Amino acid sequence: MDRFVIEGPVRLAGEVTVSGAKNAALPCLAAALLTADAVRLENLPDVADIRTLGKLLQQVGAEVVRDRRCAAIEARTIGSADAPYDLVKTMRASVLVLGPLLARVGEVRVSLPGGCAIGVRPINLHLAAFEKLGAEVRLEHGYVEARAARLKGADVAFDTVTVTGTENVMLAATLARGTTRLRNAAREPEVVDLARLLIAMGARIEGAGTDTIVIEGVETLHGADHAVIPDRIEAGTYAVAAAATRGDVRIARCAPEHLGALVARLRATGASVESEGDVLRVRADGPLLSHDVATAPYPGFPTDLQAQWMALATGLDGIATITETIFENRFQHVAELVRMGANIRLEGRWAVVEGPSRLTGARVMASDLRASAALVLAALAAEGETTIERVYHLDRGYQRMEEKLRALGARVRRVS
Ligand code: EPU
């Protein structure tokens, strides 16, 4: 297992280029199962989760030709519509093959993902929606089995905003007979990106990006070429890193319009944030002010940046609460940040952070993707050497983070 050894403190400066969005690329890869034609995706991030889903697509019979940032997927026939536990347990987003396979072959068997480091994360809302579309859904031996001769359009209202739930049902409904209306749909840019690809494949979808998405089912879909949007969470992570290290970083090839909530919070600390085209420049110097942050579905503050924000908040002046409203257990970074000298108290879904603290390097353990990123940010700001164990979590979603950080002046080594 690799670990990072980081020597701090450092003031990050320079330019970093953002990769394609992992959470947009995943549903786009799954979409390729809806057609026998080739789907070509560009701007894919070179991260472990993308490789895992690629393996799963191959396992069900698709041909996947991958070159660093691009992939061509051709699912001429589906051999077996079966997603086994071994693959699904390493990446929950594997459940995104449920919708496409159900729509394409009328029968699918996918392992239930189980809980993970950030919460229970059920998929009950995906399944209830498939039932509404006329599928027969059974849970047996840890697997979801779903069947439907042909799905039928229906009205689906999600109780909770669910990103992959919205995507999964949108994928399925493209080939259903009739109209599907998704209410309380997720408005994330990744949902919009998937809709763009599906429309290019011949799907009829309106309203992506709003809370009501209407999908008019079609008989077949065809191939398409699609460039995945930039990763707003990766961009946000470097933006927060710039502020946390009182640096000056230009974040290139990003979509500043997807980062509104973060930019507002960063400005409220006193950091300077400017955007020009696809570049976001974050600069900070001296003391910055703390203030409360609460996560919310898009366009609110992303839960995927909560841990990184907490690393920043340890160095801000004042007491502030960070409220996690999306996942019940996404505070595993807190204990590790406290080991580095942070002053954080947990009260249910609230973390009360009192700063500024003088962080010092320590040996810490990464527990999930974004918690790992938070530890990296804390290590960059801390005095002395930090060793972060289990960076395989980080590799799931950040493309060569140590190289990107080194180019900004960080002293980071990967040790195998
Ligand atoms: N939920 C249910 N039932 C469901 C689905 C969701 O109760 O059937 C609950 C969840 O337990 C959670 C809330 O609804 O409390 C929102 O979960 P959502 O379904 O939106 O999360 P997700 O689709 O599983 C995606 C991202 C996550 C990101 C969340 C929230 C992908 C592949 N994953 O997960 O990304 O945190 O949306 O924005 O798109 C990450 O990249 O680190 C990551 C965890």
pTM of whole model > 0.85?
yes
Same domain, 9 and 113: no
**In this predicted structure, what is the pLDDT of residue 219?**
97
Q: What confidence category does residue 49 fall into, taking pLDDT thresholds of 50, 70 and 90? A: very high
Cα(162) to centroid(ligand 1), Å: 6
Same domain, 209 and 333: no
Same domain, 314 and 235: yes
312 within 8 A of 379, measured Cβ to Cβ: no
Q: How many domains does the chain have?
A: 2
Same domain, 219 and 274: no
Q: Whose CA is nearest to atom 17 of ligand 1?
A: 162
**In this predicted structure, what is the pLDDT of residue 1?**
86
Please give the single-letter amino acid code of residue 338. Answer: V
Same domain, 213 and 235: no
Same domain, 255 and 209: no
Same domain, 156 and 235: no
CA distance 237 to 404: 12
Q: What confidence category does residue 120 fall into, taking pLDDT thresholds of 50, 70 and 90? A: confident
Cα(314) to centroid(ligand 1), Å: 26
Ligand 1 contact via 125 beta carbon (within 6 Å): yes
Q: What confidence category does residue 128 fall into, taking pLDDT thresholds of 50, 70 and 90? A: very high
Lowest mean pLDDT among 112-116, 209-213, 314-318, 342-346: 112-116
Q: Is 116 a catalytic residue?
A: yes
**In this predicted structure, what is the pLDDT of residue 90?**
85
Cα(88) to centroid(ligand 1), Å: 15
Same domain, 15 and 109: no
**In this predicted structure, what is the pLDDT of residue 59?**
94
- Tens of pLDDT, residues 277-309: 999 999 999 999 999 999 999 999 999 999 999
Which of 162, 196, 227 is at the close of a domain?
A: 227
**In this predicted structure, what is the pLDDT of residue 116?**
73
Ligand 1 contact via 236 beta carbon (within 6 Å): no
Sign of CA dihedral 198, 199, 205, 208: positive
Query: What is the CATH number for 101?
Result: 3.65.10.10
- Tens of pLDDT, residues 239-283: 999 999 999 999 999 999 999 999 999 999 999 999 999 999 999
Same domain, 112 and 153: yes
Ligand 1 contact via 178 beta carbon (within 6 Å): no
Q: What confidence category does residue 18 fall into, taking pLDDT thresholds of 50, 70 and 90? A: very high
Q: 212, exposed or middle or buried, with CB in 10 Å at 0-12, 13-18, 19+?
A: middle
Which of 183, 211, 227 is at the close of a domain?
A: 227
- Tens of pLDDT, residues 199-238: 999 999 999 999 999 999 999 999 999 999 999 999 999 9
- The average pLDDT across 134-144 equals 94
Ligand 1 contact via 355 beta carbon (within 6 Å): no
Q: What confidence category does residue 157 fall into, taking pLDDT thresholds of 50, 70 and 90? A: very high
Same domain, 206 and 159: yes
Instruction: Please enumerate in sequence order all residues whose Cβ is within 8 A of that of 348, keeping only pairs 6 or more positions apart, or say none.
Output: none
Write the CA distances from 281 to 15, 275, 341, integer angstroms.
9, 6, 29
- Tens of pLDDT, residues 56-75: 999 999 999 998 899 999 99
CA distance 71 to 373: 27
Of 225, 206, 166, 167, the C-alpha closest to 26 is 167
Which of 201, 227, 253 is at the close of a domain?
A: 227
Same domain, 177 and 122: yes
| Ligand 1, atom nearest to 297 Cα | 38
Same domain, 275 and 389: yes
**In this predicted structure, what is the pLDDT of residue 258?**
98
- Render 292-305 in DSSP notation, one character per residue: -EEB-STTSB-GGG
**In this predicted structure, what is the pLDDT of residue 329?**
85
Ligand 1 contact via 115 beta carbon (within 6 Å): no
Position 119 pLDDT exceeds 90:
no
Q: Domain range holding 217?
A: 22-227
**In this predicted structure, what is the pLDDT of residue 115?**
65
| Ligand 1, atom nearest to 304 Cα | 36
Q: Whose CA is nearest to atom 7 of ligand 1?
A: 122
Mean confidence (pLDDT) of the chain: 96
The proportion of the chain whose per-residue pLDDT surpasses 90, expressed as a percent, equals 92
